[in-house]
């Protein structure tokens, strides 16, 4: 086999010398670009991102996301074998209250106040819970498949969401 390679190499060198020179030049140019490509004007690095835990929620939706994430974190930390849990929840809709409108149907968005002998009361109809878009759980314990499955199932059960909406990752 080595004799076949030698024959091919000798034939290549003798007949295609121009191609060999071009091939060597392109290879050297590539090595030079890789070696010296990082020299030049330094570009400033972007400022470090602030951790999400320090950011104050600015909207009711963000406050509800943080509140739900905190509740889930406290529950998941009680599972045996789970440590250092971080949870992020994304809501697509916040909690909405429905009230009885003046015609008695429960489609109103503004509360109806009824005056009685004891004072004024609001007539509630229903409260629609938040709509969860997805949940990410990060913990070093997620390296074990059984723990990862338990965490995923716990989040699915707590929030009544589908498996594809839950992502459990190790640190």
- Residue 48 in any domain: the answer is no
20 occurs within a structural domain:
yes
Residue 161 and residue 109 share a domain: no
Residues 88 and 100 in one domain: no
pLDDT (0 to 100) of residue 155: 93
27 and 109 co-located in one domain: no
Dihedrals phi, psi of 163, to nearest 5 degrees: -60, -35
Residues 66 and 91 in one domain: yes
Q: What domain range is 104 assigned to?
A: 96-128
- Residues 155 and 166 sit within 8 Å (Cβ to Cβ): yes
> Are residues 23 and 81 both part of a single domain?
no
Judgement on whether residues 117 and 150 belong to the same structural domain of the protein: no
Looking at the structure, tell me whether residues 118 and 89 fall in a common domain: no
Tell me if 86 is assigned to some domain.
Answer: yes
pLDDT, residue 5, reads: 82
Residue 119 shares a structural domain with residue 167: no
Helices (H) and strands (E) in the chain, counts: 4, 7
User: N- to C-terminal Cα distance for the chain?
Assistant: 50
Residue 41 lies in a domain: no
Domain count, the chain: 3
Same domain, 106 and 82: no
Digit-by-digit pLDDT tens for the chain (171 residues) are: 677 888 877 877 788 778 888 888 999 999 888 887 766 666 676 777 666 555 666 787 888 889 889 999 999 999 998 889 999 998 887 766 666 665 655 555 566 666 677 777 666 666 666 788 899 999 999 999 999 999 999 999 999 899 999 999 998
Q: What is the CATH number of the domain that holds 72?
A: 3.30.300.30
Structure token pair of residue 52: 């999400």
Query: Which has the closest alpha carbon to 150: 69, 89, 76, 70?
Result: 76
Same domain, 15 and 68: no
How long is the chain? 171
């Amino acid at each position: 086999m080595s004799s076949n390679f030698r024959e091919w190499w000798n034939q290549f060198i003798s007949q295609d010398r121009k191609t060999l020179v071009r091939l060597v030049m392109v290879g050297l140019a590539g090595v030079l670009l890789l070696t010296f490509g990082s020299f030049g004007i330094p570009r400033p690095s972007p400022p470090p991102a602030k951790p999400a835990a320090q950011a104050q929620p600015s909207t009711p939706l963000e406050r509800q996301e943080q509140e739900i994430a905190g509740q889930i974190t406290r529950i998941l930390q009680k599972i045996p074998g789970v440590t250092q849990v971080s949870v992020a929840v994304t809501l697509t809709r916040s909690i909405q209250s429905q009230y009885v409108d003046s015609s008695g149907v429960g489609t109103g968005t503004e509360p109806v106040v009824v005056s009685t002998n004891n004072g004024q009361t609001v007539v509630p109809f229903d409260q629609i819970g938040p709509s969860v878009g997805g949940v990410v759980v990060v913990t070093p314990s997620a390296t074990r498949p059984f723990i990862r499955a338990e965490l995923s199932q716990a989040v699915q059960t707590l929030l009544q969401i589908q498996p594809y909406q839950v992502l459990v990752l190790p640190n």
